[in-house]
A and B are shown apart, each in its own frame.
Chain A
């Protein structure tokens, strides 16, 4: 997948940038607190936040490190994030770059820390992005990647992939824990640990944030309602009078380091 797909991602997130920036769900949550505990940021660290979205991760870490570079494929998102960081923050050590996670514009070993939060499911080539993450991290550098977890059960996984694509055509693919560990190790990293975090989504708000119209939301609601019982159990789908009210998926956190020596 090339330029055409990436244009689609830009279009999608350009249109919905404001809602992502204002979304409280992306602000300080359990996964960010866990990320901080694992990465142990210090005033010596230079952090790269890849696919920064609304800038929540960049803003969270800015006061704890020397500097943050936040990159995203979508200019509108970067502008909103820049506004958000200057409104919320009083931080002056965050800079923004429009960049593709698979072709990062940074020299080798430029960063000591790297984060990438709830974004890789939009990447056409995750192994390539991970090789780039490895390249731009210094030896001994620490990385946390967080993304939506693909369930192990094939039927539940199929429901998950289908409904995510119905909601947002720029959703490429989520991966299982085992797949994530294998890809991360293949890129050269040492996987130190993984953690999982349940995340409950208000169905209407979640569907609208992706820019779905009424018909789109109805189709998605129908798809949820028709799903087998085991899917309903797995995602703890809450319904009322034929309408989905909420569901809960899982975010996977991968903590990995670049080895100290070759």
Chain B
């Protein structure tokens, strides 16, 4: 089960509150402003600043 476009619209980066996008492989949610990747585990986005990884290092 993927993350639909409508659901992404009611999701934001918990840090900057800005727009997020789904990573091409569908396994993480990216905030380009903060350069953070939020993992998706068991179809549940983990939108915690502490759990996010720097884009490029994830």
Is B21 engaged at the interface, CB distance under 8 Å to the other chain?
no
- Residues from chain B with Cβ under 8 Å of A3 in the complex: 50
State the majority secondary structure of interface residues on B.
loop
Please give me the residue from chain A that is nearest to B29 by CB atom.
Answer: A105
A135 to B48 CA separation, bound complex (whole angstroms): 18
Within 8 A of A (CB), among B39-58: 41-51
Find B47's partner among A79, A82, A105 (CB 8 Å cutoff). Answer: A105
Q: Is B14 a contact of A100 with CB atoms below 8 Å?
A: yes
> How big is chain B's contact interface, by range?
20 to 34
Q: Is B14 a contact of A99 with CB atoms below 8 Å?
A: yes
User: How many pairs of residues, A versus B, come closer than 8 Å at their CB atoms?
Assistant: 63
Q: Is A103 a contact of B42 with CB atoms below 8 Å?
A: no
Please give me the residue from chain A that is nearest to B10 by CB atom.
Answer: A110
- Residues from chain A with Cβ under 8 Å of B50 in the complex: 3, 6
Is B11 engaged at the interface, CB distance under 8 Å to the other chain?
yes
- Residues from chain B with Cβ under 8 Å of A100 in the complex: 14, 48-49
Q: Is B17 a contact of A107 with CB atoms below 8 Å?
A: yes
Which residues in B have some Cβ–Cβ distance to A below 8 Å?
7, 9-15, 17, 19-20, 38, 41-51
Can you name 14 A-B pairs with beta carbons within 8 Å? Answer: A3-B50, A71-B47, A97-B47, A98-B41, A99-B14, A99-B47, A103-B48, A105-B20, A105-B38, A107-B17, A107-B19, A108-B17, A111-B10, A135-B17
